[in-house]
Amino acid sequence: MTPQWITFSPRGDERGVLVAIESDHDIPFTLKRVYTLTGLLPGGVRGGHAHKRLRQVIVCLAGSCVIDLDDGEQTFSVPLDDPASGLVLEPMIWHEMREFSAGCVLMVLASDHYDEADYIRDRAAFMKCAKTASA
């Protein structure tokens, strides 16, 4: 697993910058859900789970953070700090966001509606599933 990034096309002038994100064009799936994370505490951690089927793109709209990724074999830590880039998060990737700067705002674009049954919230269960999938 190598972290996959999508670069959006910012357009702007002296008045500011506009970054448009279109379903099935800028992101590799049909968009069904958008949510934001705000009020993130500098010492806090979010995420701490994987998804069985859900695909996501995570964009840092303001500030910065670090996201830790684990596919059961490889781990990566990558910074999120550019509103014109999105980190693609495929299924079966354990992820945790941390080191939030003051005012950090994250936006998540998701391929499906919320479904609690799609979550793997136990790290040991995730590792077992990941090993089974790679065998």
Of the residues 25, 49, 95, 113, only one is catalytic, namely 49
SS3 75: strand
Please write the tens of the pLDDT for every residue from 73-122: 999 999 999 999 999 999 999 999 999 999 999 999 999 999 999 999 99
pTM (2 d.p.): 0.91
CATH of the domain at 30: 2.60.120.10
Strands of 105-110's sheet in order across: 4-7, 85-89, 56-62, 105-110, 33-37
**Catalytic residue check, 49:** yes
Residue 20: inside a domain = no
Residue 7: inside a domain = no
SS3 92: coil
Residue 19: inside a domain = no
Domain limits at 73? 26-134
The C-alpha angle with vertex 76 and arms to 65 and 98, in degrees rounded to 5, equals 25
Please write the tens of the pLDDT for every residue from 50-71: 999 999 999 999 999 999 999 9
Confidence band for 135, pLDDT divided at 50, 70 and 90: low
